[in-house]
A and B are shown apart, each in its own frame.
Chain A
Amino acid sequence: MSYSGAYRVNEPKVVSETLDGETIAIDLESGSYFSMNPAASVVWNLILDGHPAAAFPAVVAARFDVAPEDAAGDIERFVESLVRDRLVVAAEPRAVAAPVIAAQGRAPYEAPSVERFDDMQELLLADPIHDVTLAGWPHLPPT
């Protein structure tokens, strides 16, 4: 990969959850939400754990039916799109150990992909729960 460092999830503005191989991320500043497929979720969780970008292809190749060198370009494009949407930012690697290369069955490979949705912006931004401080909430005009 062209970038040899690592990334970090752009917290606290971005929150995420991975369930059954699908990751949902919410940009709490824009109200956009993102859905990531299984390979993308693997990479996302490597980022969350602070692993260097150079480690991503081997982990993906261990989990999916793909060669590391074939996955590398897909992963790079995926991470670039995360950076573009400011879901992740460049950072120093933080993981203290190499990622575990699971010796489990390899799932069929689909290139990591993330899809962005803006249809719930108003509701996600208006959720009063976000603003647990005395600073008040975002004011939304009635629509």
Chain B
Amino acid sequence: MNAGSAVARNDALAAARGDIIGFLDADDLWTDRHLASLLPMLADPALDCARGWTRMTALADPGIDLGESYQPILLGAGLYRRSVFDRVGGFEPVLRAGEDLDMAARIGEAGVRIAVTTEIVLVYRRHDRSAVAKAGAVQRGQFDAIRSRLRRGGHA
């Protein structure tokens, strides 16, 4: 049992030295367009985050096409200025799951300036033993992220 993905992501943020942060989780793939399409977008100093679209497939059979879409929760589908995390804080380790959903919500609330390209920048490979395969765990993550959202308050 490790300390969980929130702690791992915070450790990585602490260790990173660059001004632009990218994430790549186990089993996910950046496409060859990831840096090529997202990095130039951040040349615009008015932007804090660049996101692309995600293609979902199955780890067991990459030929299975589960569609392409905009998945703002998947951290691997974006590049973020380090200043984003200075502003909104790190990942929330007390969450049982859903630290990525929680972060996406906080980034939205903080008014982080985001640009989106429809280019495919991430391949999300689902397999039955991945951390998210159990729908129950994912649902818990959603409940956790929602409770965290309600504690922050300030709904419009």
Binding site for B on A (CB under 8 A): 15, 17, 19, 22, 24, 26, 33, 35, 117, 119-120, 122-124, 126-129, 131-132, 134, 136-143
The complex places the Cα of A46 from the Cα of B39 at a distance, in Å, of 53
Binding site for A on B (CB under 8 A): 51, 53-54, 56, 64, 66-74, 101, 104-105, 108, 116-118, 124, 126, 132-133, 135, 138-140, 142-143, 145-147, 149-150, 155-156
Q: How far is the CB of A17 from chain B (nearest CB, A)?
A: 5
Q: How far is the CB of B84 from chain A (nearest CB, A)?
A: 16
**Cβ–Cβ contact B72 & A128, under 8 A:** no
**Cβ–Cβ contact B73 & A137, under 8 A:** no
Chain A: CB-nearest residue to B53: A142
Q: How far is the CB of B120 from chain A (nearest CB, A)?
A: 13
**Cβ–Cβ contact B67 & A137, under 8 A:** yes
A-B contact pairs, 7 of them (CB 8 A): A24-B143, A120-B146, A122-B72, A123-B73, A124-B101, A136-B56, A137-B67
**Cβ–Cβ contact B138 & A127, under 8 A:** yes
Contacts of A15 in B (CB 8 A): 139
The complex places the Cα of A143 from the Cα of B49 at a distance, in Å, of 13
Also in contact, A24 and B70, with CB within 8 A (given A123-B101, A128-B54) = no
